[in-house]
Amino acid sequence: MRSVYIFTIVLLLTALQTRAQNPLRRLPGMSGMGGGSKGQDSLKHRDNLEDSITIRFRFLDSSRMQKFDSSVVDFRSKYPLPANYTSLGNTGSAARAFAFHPLMNSGWDPGFHAFDIYKIRMDQVRFFQTTRPYSELGYLLGSRSEQIIHLMHTQNIKPNWNAAFQYDLINSPGFFKNQNVAHNRYLFNTHYQSKNKRYNLYFVLLANVMQANENGGIRDDQDYLDNVTTYKERSSIPVQLGNYVRPEQSFLNSKLNTGNRQSSTTFLLRQQYDLGKKDSVVTDSTVQKLFYPKLRMEYNVQYSLHKFKYYDAEPDDSFYVKHYNFLTALNNGFTLEEHWKDLVNDFSLYSFPDERNAQQFLKAGFSFQNLTGDFSDGRRTFYNMFLHGEYRNRTRNRKWDIQASGKFYLAGFNNGDFDFNASLQRFLSRKLGYASIGLQNVNRTPSYIYETSSSFSFGAMPTFNKENVTRIYGAVNNDEYRWRLAASYYLVSNFAYFKNYYVTDQASALFNVFNIEAEKTFRVGRRWHWMANVQINQRLGDGPVNMPLFFTFQRFGYEGNLGFKNLSFAAGLEGRYFSPYKADQYSPLQSQFFYQDTMQISMKFPDLTAYLHFRIRGFTLYLRAENLNTASFAGGSFGWTNNNLAAPYYPTPGFQLRLGIFWSFVN
């Protein structure tokens, strides 16, 4: 690690003196980092430079172009786990949000979501438009050989054809036995538009491979965390699963000993053909061809492969007998597996009422889905037929934004499922920003893991009714003055859940969940800022949901350039705290968080982090000292042993030193 720090210091001194061109200055809104209003240069005065670049992106189901975020303050924008999530004590381990986030999609769902936060989703795929090839390299090195890698490259093969590739790796051995995770994410996507702008082709190849060893938490027969004389080294604490594994702090240690391996691969091909009106704009030297669609025909074919596996090389019968009392005398190499193939064919029509506004349209479509599941006792096939529709309108003056979408299952395995979402956003004023309100309702068949035929379902499951969740939400957001206020109200009936390590149940009683979130950045001095994010969560009624009543994440520090034109610098302290609550426990065999109401966890001291972040031209560095709150002098010696609990029997890590770099290149 020492050589890495020396290299970083030399690089910093060199970059501060160099006069080489800043590649990010050629990106919209990224010039003169920390240098004031000039950072909003739109490049219109430098379009004739040979190496200038204009790069923007949009998501698959949006026509709204967006720009990169150039901020260096928020480390979480480059780190896979948001501040309002908690994991089981290691980067990449099963994670959940502190607030209530039920599934709000109808239709078939396999039921495995403990690693969702680390995956690339289809709605996160970015389609770029760039005048020059652009690349990103990210590398994070942390304590105990933790490593996170990010690679991305995009370029326009032709002015009307772009391709992009992305790869991400998370590898972290963890601080406790049998915690190693090895996650890989792959993405290739391309967009082609014909020269006459009538035809569009989108292709996406997306893969997530999640592998996490499971230790079942530390053993509960002694106070191992408080015994800092014998167990000052946290990796020596006995765990409930995989206790036979010797802790190895190695980047290459990616063996699955006892744990879960879940993978999903998705291919998407979308083709569109537009009918409409041709036009052109004539300037002094060029003729720019335009096309305004009136009717769009769209065909989508999406094919997905899902594989879920739990494996234990040397099963400990005492754990399985205690928590899964029907599993006894297991053989070495104990395995549970379930595979799915999912094929969806979809045809949709779009109508554009205003030919000059492509962000106003009405969409209607029909989909047919084929499902094939391979289980321990054989193969089963299912199908679904469903209708879907959508209306969007972002007015030309950008003051109103209306969205409404819905889906209804006509026949098949999920017959009768539906979901609906409608929202309205309005620009109020410069001081107030944007206000939005919305209504969402979903009526869904519980996930397939609740079915008796699932490989991860032990014993006969009860018959479940359809879940129904209604959400009413609203927000006021002002980016200029850096504040946000949001609220959500949930009305839940027939909520399906796990009530212990393997038994499922359904809450017949109606209950409500209320969430308020507020965030504001205060200017304490000329360059000193205090960001405070606060959440209030409250359940009303008797429902199997537990959340901390109060959660806060706060940051206080310096933001400026220290007198250097090309430097953007941030340093300070971050803190995170949640009020005591009965946190969900975790079932390793099914990778499910389950409801419990007997054990309350609380923080010994709020999580505390010291950070130093800076950007010089296209280079960004993150240096962080995390979990300073774990410092302890117990037992007469100093150590990082004052661990909080993330969940019952799952301690958070001790002190972590993280060094991350993020480098962008314009080729």
Asked whether residue 45 carries a pLDDT value surpassing 80, the answer given is no
pLDDT at 355 over 90: no
Give the percent of the chain with pLDDT over 70. 90
Compute the half-sphere exposure of residue 666: CA atoms within 13 Å on the CB side of its CA: 19
Q: What residues have CB less than 8 Å from 439, skipping those under 6 apart?
A: 420, 421, 422, 423, 470, 471, 472, 473
Helix (H) or strand (E) holding 106: none
| pLDDT at residue 513 tops 60 | yes
Residue whose C-alpha is closest to residue 454's, from 319, 595, 340? 340
For residue 617, what pLDDT is reported?
Answer: 87
Is 329 a residue whose pLDDT tops 80? no
- For residue 251, pLDDT over 70 is answered with no
User: Does residue 522 have a pLDDT over 60?
Assistant: yes
Residue 595 bridge partners (DSSP): none
CB 564 within 8 A of CB 35: no
Three-state DSSP class for residue 208: strand
Mean pLDDT of 389-410: 92
* Position 24 pLDDT exceeds 70: no
Mean pLDDT throughout 606-614? 97
Q: How many whole angstroms separate alpha carbon 231 and alpha carbon 225?
A: 7
Q: What is the pLDDT of residue 530?
A: 97
> What pLDDT is recorded for position 5?
42
User: What is the residue-wise DSSP string for 624-653?
Assistant: EEE-GGGEE-GGGS-EE----EEETTEEPP
Identify the helix (H) or strand (E) that includes residue 657.
strand 656-666
Calculate the average pLDDT of the chain.
89
What was the pLDDT predicted at 396?
A: 77
> Sorting pLDDT into bands at 50, 70 and 90, what band is 18?
very low
pLDDT at 2 over 60: no
The reported pLDDT for the residue numbered 31 is 36
Selected residue with higher pLDDT from 220 and 16: 220
Could you tell me which residue, 525 or 330, shows the higher pLDDT?
A: 525
pLDDT value of position 29: 35
Residue 17 is predicted with a pLDDT of 40
Gap between the Cα atoms of 387 and 324, Å rounded: 41
Location of structure tokens 């426990």: 585
Tens digits of per-residue pLDDT, 544-602?
Answer: 999 999 999 999 999 999 999 899 999 999 999 999 999 999 999 999 999 999 999 99
* pLDDT, position 50: 40
pLDDT at position 395, please? 84
User: Cα separation of 90 and 179, whole Å?
Assistant: 7
pLDDT tens digit string along 80-103? 999 999 999 999 999 999 999 999
Tokens 């009538």 sit at which residue? 198
Residues above pLDDT 90, as percent of the chain: 74
pTM (2 d.p.): 0.89
Q: What is the pLDDT of residues 637-663, one digit of tens each?
A: 899 999 999 999 999 999 999 999 999
Provide the greatest CA pair distance for the chain: 83
Q: Which of 67, 57, 63 is nearest to 26 (CA)?
A: 67
CA 275 to chain centroid, in Å, comes to 37
Other CB atoms within 10 Å distance of the CB of residue 510: 15
Q: Please enumerate in sequence order all residues whose Cβ is within 8 A of that of 490, keeping only pairs 6 or more positions apart, or say none.
A: 100, 102, 469, 470, 471, 512, 513, 514, 515
Judged against a pLDDT cut of 70, whether residue 168 lies above it is answered with: yes
Q: Is residue 636's pLDDT more than 90?
A: no
Q: Would you tell me how many other CB atoms lie within 10 Å of the CB of residue 262? A: 22
| Contacts of residue 587, Cβ cutoff 8 Å, sequence gap at least 6 | 323, 498, 500, 501, 502, 593, 594
Res 28 pLDDT > 70? no
Banded model confidence at residue 25, pLDDT cuts 50, 70, 90: very low
pLDDT at 247: 64
